[in-house]
Chain A
Amino acid sequence: MTATLTSTKAEQPVGRRRWAAPVAKYAVYAGIVVLIAVNAVMSSSFLSLDNLRVQLYQAVPVLIVALGMALVIGTEGIDLSVGGVIALTSAVLPLYLGYGVWVSIALAILAGGVCGAISGSLVAFARVQPIVATLSLMIGLRGLAVIMNGATAKPLNDPTLLNLGLTGWLGLPQMAYIGAGLVAIIAFVVRRTTLGRNLVAVGDNASASFLAGLPVRRILLSVYVMSGMLAAVAGVLIAGHGAYADPANYGLNYELLAITAVVVGGTPLSGGQIRVIGTVAGTIFMQLVSATLIQNNVKNSYEQMIEAVIICIAVFIARESANR
């Protein structure tokens, strides 16, 4: 697999597409500006604080999941289990709400960490391919969550949970600040810590990193644990904002949304590179695309088709830049 990827890079004609790299690097930002401009012209309420809040409710959980996904993709892995983890958190939350809200939130995030540890162990120690390891959790976790919670959604009446999506400061909801804080933390981890350097090295070349003495297995394990915990945080925010625990429906397609956001943001699927701010931009871009289509009353079916085409185009452009 590594050989194929490396060779694909090598086969690219050097210099033929010299213009492509800078275009690809800033295409997301240009796309964001264009979409904001188009929407601002077409709808006067688009730039209002109310609309911004609505967009944040949808984008922040995706962003948090995407941050974890970026770390995993940086190690040349993939985490398909995030949707299952989100489902599991909303099954855990109502179960322990009687012991206090913070206990149940902590346990939900812990559960996410355990799921990450399971897929991480499968990848790092059992040497299972990331896509299969996390696929089995993706299938299994939602089933487990539905069994734990029962088939119907349960109401969550705790004020602390509800406030995550309702109140905040300066007109923005609490979850926006949580998202921003996590972006800062992950950016710091990636750029300024040894773990950050190491996980990029592992993604670039796992065998070389192992020979160089890096604790490759521990690094891989920690990446999946972080991804699981971040997905659990997103799950808590989604359940809090939704005011219901709905394991059957929460988190569906989140792996797709998160992977797209990461790749559109310029992190190559072949690992060895992590773009945190790019991931933020990728999330904003995908959210704007969906908001634009919804505001223009495009039917859900056409929205899906258009998004599919946009994903392909965006990945094509991002791929050009990854080839350098």
Chain B
Amino acid sequence: MSSQMTAPAEDMAGGGVTETPRERVFALLQRQGGPVVLVLVVLLACIFSSGFASSGNFSTILVGNAYVSLLALAETFVIISGGIDLSVGSMFALGGVLAAWGMNHGGSGVAVLLPIVVGLVIGVIQGSLIAYARLAPFIVTLAGLLFARGLLQAISNEGSTTYLVPGHSVFAFLGDGTWRPILTAVAFFAIAAVVLVRTRFGQALFAIGGSENAALLMGVRVRRTKVLVYMLSGTLAAVAGMLNASRLQSGVTNIGVGYELTAIAAVVIGGTILTGGSGSMYGTAAGVLLLAVIQNLIGVHLSQYGSSASDLVNGAFLAVVVVLQSFLARRRAL
């Protein structure tokens, strides 16, 4: 379904040139590259890496990345519309701190509602600056990154106060156990995939990302859609942080730094093109899993270097993927 929908947009970007069979294969590879590499990496890891192929390890990978994967989901919406949201990592941390603060100052209801409301408000402000004041999404969301981090530090008294969530509360139940985080993430991705391909909002995102002017002429409410997409991504990121706080049973202040980059990397690896107009939720899910598996393998085999090794591999991996993407696409004439 999504391939049918995205093909016209790519044709337009290529100046309306008819696709040859070879170009069609390239386009298919570009879209399905993430899932293919994921399957290959998992197969190789199962064969060569002892201890990888155990149900315990698989559930560690899935649970550990369940809530962070929602950032990539949010980023997919934004990137398909041709924008970018660099604030999701900070919003993730802010959502967690707000939830834990709310748990300590009101109870489970406040803990759930407060992150949603704040995420929504910050998202609307960012979206309005981008859609109506026409500021670059890049700059606005960088400022949003700073702002959200400042706000969470103010709430946590410069990071010196950690708010704990009581283990037996309704709120802590949300992120408890092995299956609840995984099922939550799967449900979010399923809903997002339907929204993206089956609703008018999703169609509008593809249209705007493909060509903003054409979308305007087609009668798409470009500005309103843009505000909506940043609102959605702000809210989703805060909700992801809230669920994560429930799992960790505390509002961690120094979490989420650089998560926006991981999210963008996952989206790009999943075949979504950064110029917008094309992409899929299923690809992003594959991208998230691929990065998670690589992270896990690095943790097992290069543990003496810790997170710096995974930064290095992630960066190199992203570079390889984008180079492949651009060679497979061969669209822009320079």
Contacts and interface: CB of A to CB of B under 8 A. Distances in A.
Interface in B71-128: 82, 84
Interface string B250-273: 000000001001001100100000
A177 interface: no
Interface stretch (A103-111, A133-141, A179-187, A278-286): A133-141
Contact of A127 (B82, B306, B309, B332): B332
B142 A139 contact: no
Interface stretch (B51-59, B174-182, B198-206, B315-323): B315-323
A288 B16 CA distance: 51
Interface in B189-215: 211-213
Given A311-B146, A319-B135, A300 B319 contact: no
A136 B211 contact: no
Interface in B131-183: 133-136, 138-140, 142-147, 149-154, 158
B139 A135 contact: no
A228 to B, nearest CB: 15
A305 interface: yes
Interface in B285-334: 305-316, 318-319, 322-323, 325-327, 332-334
A131 B138 contact: yes
B327 A312 contact: no
A126 B325 CA distance: 9
B315 A140 contact: yes
Interface of B: 82, 84, 129, 133-136, 138-140, 142-147, 149-154, 158, 211-213, 258, 261, 264-265, 268, 274-275, 305-316, 318-319, 322-323, 325-327, 332-334
A146 B139 contact: no
Contacts of A132: 264, 268, 274, 318, 322
Contact of A135 (B152, B305, B311, B318): B318
A312 B334 contact: no
Interface residues of A, number: 52
Nearest to B321: A136
A302 B134 contact: no
Interface in A192-210: 206-207, 210
B111 to A, nearest CB: 21
Nearest to B135: A315
B146 A305 contact: yes
A283 B140 CA distance: 19
Contact of A136 (B134, B139, B275, B315): B315
Contact of B142 (A7, A256, A300, A303): A256
B311 A78 contact: no
Nearest to B311: A143
Contacts of B158: 299-301
A286 to B, nearest CB: 12
A1 B275 contact: yes
Contacts of A3: 211-213
A301 B213 contact: no
